[in-house]
Amino acid sequence: MSRVIRRRWISSHEGPSRKDNRGCEYEAYVPDPLVGRNFTIDGEVAADIADAESAIARLNVEATSLVDTEALARILLRAESVASSRIEGLEIGAQRLLRAEAARVLGDDPSDVTAVEVLGNIDAMVYGIGAVGPGDPVTVEILLEIHRRLLSGTRLEEYGGRFREEQNWIGGSAYNPCSAAFVPPPPELVAGLIADLVDFANEDSLPAVAQSAIAHAQFETIHPFVDGNGRTGRALVHLILRRRGLAPRVLPPVSLILATWAQDYIDGLTASRYRGPVTSKEASEGINLWIGRFATACKRAVDDATSFEHEARTIEASWRERLGRVRARSAVDLLLSVLVGAPVVTVNSASEMVGRSFIQTNEAIQRLVEAGILKQVTVGRRNRAFEAPEIIAAFTVLERQLASPEGDTRTSEPVRTVPRRK
């Protein structure tokens, strides 16, 4: 049975106002364990789950331009990091981030602090999805390592990779939980609840989308870390989808849709936090409401990802038409394919990706520059790189589309800060 624990908050008198410095009684919510629970999924929600899983599977089977996951995965991981709780609303476009990434590859510390933080978030996600493949277990150690990488190099680095040892809360004052919207479980219960969550994440009794939805809601309810809970909770969704074999190649940007449907997202999570018996009507209706919204977000995420995949294919086809005859397996041929996933390259990075010599790759890049497919730019401290503006523009359109409640910025303006359309 879920319950609340009543505690007394003792003021530390560190706040700037009398309200911030007051003590109070507060209630910390403790959810039911997940392992062994019987989840009854309503008929309409089951249909939403089936539609979502079919869409995710189809995306993974049919994606051709994105076969190595780089093109879609990189932009989605970048955008998911930007949309996370601590940096939501922070505007950083694909071009800024890709140039900073190229500078880092060249051994140059990027001067763009925002880009550096987002790149760190992407690194953590890349680690996570690389650590769990189809059939592999999700472990507490993997979640802790994801979190450690998220906070690496930040002011909260010392808290990375370990559970919180203090009470946290959501909303209200930064100095006390007296007016909080939600107070997670006390710190001494976190490790046990996470162990149960991980065991649940490794079960196969529920559809993968339903399992991901329930696990994500439970993680956000536990809120096990001092900071970085939203980003780690989103990573958990992808770990489960990969473990279940539903998304082995291309991950749907579901958390971005949830960020766009922010109030529905919050309401869904809140509905899953019932009080009382797990067999109650409130518990069943709440979890079904949340799973249904999550499944719908998955379906919408796939639709938007598919439109980007089609646009990428169209752009590559136009490049080949512009160039005329391209010899199969030549440096030019191979480079045209990898640019979809890496639209900012140096000669060295491109040479490594296509497996051709520096001279062959440099000649291929010059041919693409002459055709207007690539343009030379400067990254970091006067380092030379080359970028594909059409792919970067497609990234921008995708991010704007993902931030539109209706998926069309012409009729439904983005509800989050996104890069401007050029």
pLDDT at 72: 57
Q: Which of 89-93, 154-158, 328-332 has the lowest mean pLDDT?
A: 89-93
* Per-residue pLDDT tens over the stretch 36-81: 999 999 999 999 999 999 999 998 887 655 444 455 555 566 655 6
Ordered DSSP codes for 159-178: GTTS--SS---BSS-SS-ST
Average pLDDT value over all residues in the chain? 87
385 and 264 co-located in one domain: no
Q: What is the CATH number of the domain that holds 137?
A: 1.10.3290.10
pLDDT at 90: 47
Residue 51: both structure tokens together:
């539609």
Pairwise CA distance, residues 299 & 294, whole Å: 9
pTM of the model as a whole: 0.87
Q: How far is CA 255 from the centre of its chain?
A: 6
Asked, for residue 139, whether it belongs to a domain, the answer is yes
pLDDT at 409: 67
375 and 278 co-located in one domain: no
77 and 167 co-located in one domain: yes
275 and 352 co-located in one domain: no
8 Å CB contact between 333 and 327: yes
Question: Which range marks the domain in which residue 140 is found?
Answer: 34-303
Asked, for residue 411, whether it belongs to a domain, the answer is no
More confident residue, 260 or 382: 260
Cα–Cα distances in Å, from 205 out to 118, 135, 202?
A: 35, 14, 10
Asked, for residue 124, whether it belongs to a domain, the answer is yes
Pairwise CA distance, residues 418 & 401, whole Å: 10
The domain total for the chain is: 2
pLDDT at 418: 64
Asked, for residue 4, whether it belongs to a domain, the answer is no
253 and 337 co-located in one domain: no
Pairwise CA distance, residues 145 & 306, whole Å: 31
Q: What is the CATH number of the domain that holds 393?
A: 1.10.10.10
Asked, for residue 6, whether it belongs to a domain, the answer is no
* Per-residue pLDDT tens over the stretch 188-208: 999 999 999 999 999 999 999
Residue 176, phi-psi category: left (phi > 0), alpha (psi -120 to 50), beta (remainder): beta
8 Å CB contact between 74 and 341: yes
Beta-ladder partners of 377: 385
Could you say which of 285, 303, 321 is where a domain stops? 303
Asked, for residue 412, whether it belongs to a domain, the answer is no
Asked, for residue 420, whether it belongs to a domain, the answer is no
Beta-ladder partners of 378: 384
275 and 157 co-located in one domain: yes
319 and 283 co-located in one domain: no
pLDDT at 262: 84
167 and 312 co-located in one domain: no
Residue 54: both structure tokens together:
């079919």
